[in-house]
Amino acid sequence: MKGLLTLSDLKTEQILDIIHYALELKQGLSVSYENKKMATLFFENSTRTHYSFITAMMNLGIKVIDFNSAISSVSKGESLYDTIRTFEALGMDGIVIRHPKDEYFKELEKIQIPIFNGGDGASHHPTQSLLDLMTIYEEFQSFQGLKCCIIGDISHSRVAHTNIEVMKRLGMEVYISGPKEFDDGSAAYIPLEQAINCADILMLLRVQFERHKEKMKMSTLEYHQSFGITKKKTEQMKSKAIILHPAPVNRGVEIADDVVECDKSRIYKQMTNGVYIRMAVISMVLDGKL
Ligand code: CP
177 within ligand 1 shell (Cβ under 6 A): no
Ligand 1 center–CA 247 separation, angstroms: 6
pLDDT at 162: 97
pLDDT computed for residue 80 by the predictor: 98
**pLDDT in the model for residue 175:** 98
Closest protein CA for atom 1 of ligand 1: 246
Q: Is 96 in the pocket of ligand 1 (CB under 6 A)?
A: no
User: Taking the mean position of all CA atoms in its chain, how far away is CA 148?
Assistant: 16
Asked if 125 and 166 count as a contact pair (C-beta separation under 8 A), the reply is: no
Q: How far apart, in whole angstroms, are the C-alpha atoms of residue 162 and residue 160?
A: 6
CA 268 to ligand 1 center in whole angstroms: 12
Residue 52 neighbours by CB distance under 10 Å: 24
| Span 175-206, pLDDT tens digits | 999 999 999 999 999 999 999 999 999 999 99
Instruction: Identify the pLDDT of residue 213.
Output: 85
What pLDDT score was predicted for residue 225? 97
H/E stretch holding 281: helix 267-286
Neighbours of 74 (CB within 10 A): 17
Atom in ligand 1 nearest the alpha carbon of residue 44: 6
CA 212 – CA 156 distance, rounded (Å): 8
Task: Give Rg (Cα) of the chain.
Answer: 19
d(Cα 33, Cα 14) in Å, to the nearest integer?
22
CB of 246 within 6 A of ligand 1: the answer is yes
47 lines ligand 1 (CB under 6 A): yes
Q: What is the pLDDT of residues 148-157, one digit of tens each?
A: 999 999 999 9
* Residue 205 CA to ligand 1 centre (angstroms): 11
The overall average pLDDT reported for the chain is: 97
pLDDT at position 185, please? 97
Q: Which of 46, 82, 81, 85 is nearest to 66 (CA)?
A: 46
* 234-274 per-position pLDDT tens digit: 999 999 999 999 999 999 999 999 999 999 999 999 999 99
43 has pLDDT over 90: yes
Say if residue 208's pLDDT is above 90. no
- For the chain, the first-to-last Cα distance in angstroms comes to 11
Query: Which is the closest atom of ligand 1 to the Cα of 45?
Result: 6
| Closest residue to atom 3 of ligand 1, CA basis | 49
CB-based contacts of 59, cutoff 8 Å, min separation 6 = 275, 279
Tens of pLDDT, residues 53-95 = 999 999 999 999 999 999 999 999 999 999 999 999 999 999 9
Residues 6 or more apart whose Cβ sits within 8 Å of residue 18: 10, 130, 277, 280, 281, 284, 290
The average pLDDT across 116-132 equals 97
Ligand 1 centre to CA of 271 (Å) is: 9
User: Is residue 49 within 6 Å of ligand 1 at its C-beta?
Assistant: yes
pLDDT in the model for residue 254 = 97
Measured in Å, residue 209 CA sits from the centre of ligand 1 at 15
**Distance, CA 178 to ligand 1 centroid (Å)?**
21
Q: How far apart are CA 196 and CA 241, in angstroms?
A: 9
Report the C-alpha gap between 157 and 169 in whole angstroms.
19
Whether 216 has a pLDDT exceeding 90, the answer reads no
Quick one: 268 exposed, middle or buried, by C-beta within 10 A (0-12, 13-18, 19+)?
exposed
* pLDDT over 90 at 284, yes or no: yes
Query: Is 282's C-beta closer than 6 angstroms to any atom of ligand 1?
Result: no
Q: Are 3 and 84 in contact (CB under 8 A)?
A: no
Instruction: Encode pLDDT of 7-41 as tens digits.
Output: 999 999 999 999 999 999 999 999 999 999 999 99
Which residues fall within 8 angstroms of residue 110, CB to CB, at 6 or more apart?
A: 81, 85
Residue of the nearest CA to atom 6 in ligand 1?
46
Quick one: pLDDT at residue 61?
A: 98
Best probe residue, ligand 1, of 49, 116, 129, 269 (max atoms within 8 Å of C-beta): 49
pLDDT for the residue 209: 84
Burial class (CB in 10 A: 0-12, 13-18, 19+), 75: exposed
Does ligand 1 come within 6 angstroms of the Cβ of 208?
A: no
Among protein residues, the one whose CA lies closest to atom 4 of ligand 1: 48
